[in-house]
């Protein structure tokens, strides 16, 4: 019996359901494995190998006592095809945010599916939800709600300072775009802090691709006297594709917004110099503003931008 159970646990990554065990072992064998501590009961009809549990407490373990992959395997086994990971759990599966061990996993199920939330697991019931394409995709072997819906639903669950980052990265890495996220937002008219999501999407649609660019959009490169800049404008120079942060097309000036850390190393500085020289061969002047100046001297930077543009027009 032990040999059969060990083989089953190897195939399932240490997570099994009562139904799976009953297909290879008699009922008493499961009861004995639980009684002797070889298996631990974590969810209804779901058991895990004892060596996956990171606790010394007696009684039923919590989902948070399992490692991230084992937690998700246990939840997938419990869902039995009736649900998909969503909200902040989906963000981890999309590679946009690591979910802390003490944070509940999130599942979305069709309305009336009969599943309920419990310790370490939050179940969301959605009308019209189908566990399959196009609403659900498979990532890393696990069902997950589509990216745009995951981004929008996660917004109110994250600390305020962390909310923009997943949306910015998803758009910046070209996994999606502001229009598709806006469509997902339109499906959730009662979302908490919804106006802030729409404001961020407007800036992403305008071409902003980082928190620093958004700061520049709000405090420097907008308002009286500023032209209609092109953000993240793609240009081709000698067969190379280059994206310009904030581009004044008429004056042919590219304003680059250098992050606090990303442009500080000698190697990166060399890359920047080569890039700027290449753009100069195409008649594009590059002006760089450091993070510190953009944040702490926005009015002075604004004046410099206007002066540079005026001089380029009159050359």
pLDDT tens per residue across span 275-288: 999 999 999 999 99
> CATH 3.40.960.10: which residues of the chain?
211-313
Residue 47's Cβ-count burial label (10 Å; 0-12, 13-18, 19+) is buried
Cα separations in angstroms, 218 against 197, 200, 208, 261, 294: 15, 11, 10, 21, 11
78 vs 107: CA distance, rounded Å: 11
CATH fold, domain 211-313, is: Endonuclease; Chain A (3.40.960)
Q: Are 85 and 154 in contact (CB under 8 A)?
A: no
Reported confidence tier of residue 259, pLDDT bands at 50, 70, 90: low
Q: Residue holding tokens 């549990």?
A: 53
Per-residue confidence (pLDDT) for residue 282, from 0 to 100 = 95
For 1, the token pair is 């019996």
Q: What stretches of the chain adopt beta strand conformation (E)?
A: 15-17, 39-43, 46-49, 84-85, 105-110, 121-126, 136-139, 142-145, 230-237, 240-248, 253-258, 285-290
Q: What pLDDT is stored for residue 153 in this prediction? A: 98
Does the pLDDT of residue 263 top 50, yes or no? no
Q: What is the mean pLDDT of residues 150-158?
A: 98
- On the question of pLDDT at 59 being above 80, the answer is no
Count of helices and strands (H, E) across the chain: 13, 12
**In the predicted model, is pLDDT for residue 264 greater than 60?**
no
Choice among 68-77, 103-112, 154-163, 223-232 with the minimum mean pLDDT: 223-232
Mean model confidence pLDDT for the chain: 90
* Band of pLDDT at residue 237, cut at 50, 70 and 90: very high
- Per-residue pLDDT band for 16 (boundaries 50, 70, 90) equals very high
135 burial (CB, 10 Å; 0-12 / 13-18 / 19+) is middle
pTM: 0.75
Higher pLDDT, 100 or 60: 100
Decide if 259 contacts 291 (C-beta within 8 A).
Answer: yes
For residue 154, the SS3 value is helix
């Amino acid at each position: 019996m032990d040999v059969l159970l060990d083989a089953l646990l190897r195939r399932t990554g240490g997570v099994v359901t009562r139904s799976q065990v009953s297909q290879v072992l008699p009922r008493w064998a499961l009861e004995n494995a639980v009684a002797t501590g070889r298996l631990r009961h974590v969810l209804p009809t779901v058991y895990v190998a004892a060596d996956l549990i990171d606790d010394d407490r007696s009684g039923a373990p919590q989902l948070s006592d399992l490692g991230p992959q084992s937690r998700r395997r246990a939840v997938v086994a419990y869902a039995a095809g009736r649900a998909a990971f969503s909200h902040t759990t989906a963000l981890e599966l999309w590679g946009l945010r690591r979910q802390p061990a003490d944070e509940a996993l999130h599942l979305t199920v069709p309305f009336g599916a009969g599943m309920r939330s419990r310790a370490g697991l939050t179940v969301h019931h959605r009308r019209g939800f189908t566990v399959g394409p196009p609403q659900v995709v498979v990532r890393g072997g696990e069902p997950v709600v589509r990216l745009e819906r995951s981004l929008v639903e996660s917004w109110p669950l994250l600390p305020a300072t962390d909310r923009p980052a997943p949306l910015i990265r998803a758009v910046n890495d070209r996994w999606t775009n502001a229009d598709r996220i806006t469509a997902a937002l339109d499906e959730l008219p009662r979302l908490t802090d919804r106006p802030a999501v729409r404001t961020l999407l407007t800036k992403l649609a305008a071409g902003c691709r980082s928190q620093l660019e958004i700061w520049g959009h709000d405090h420097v490169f907008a308002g009286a006297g500023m032209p209609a800049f092109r953000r993240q404008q793609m240009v081709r120079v000698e067969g190379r594709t280059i994206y310009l942060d904030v581009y004044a097309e008429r004056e042919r000036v590219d304003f680059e917004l250098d992050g606090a850390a990303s442009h500080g190393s000698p190697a990166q500085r060399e890359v920047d110099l080569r890039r700027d020289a290449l753009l100069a061969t195409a008649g594009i002047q590059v002006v760089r503003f450091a993070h510190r100046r953009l944040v702490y001297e926005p009015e002075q930077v604004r004046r410099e931008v206007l002066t540079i543009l005026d001089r380029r027009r009159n050359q």
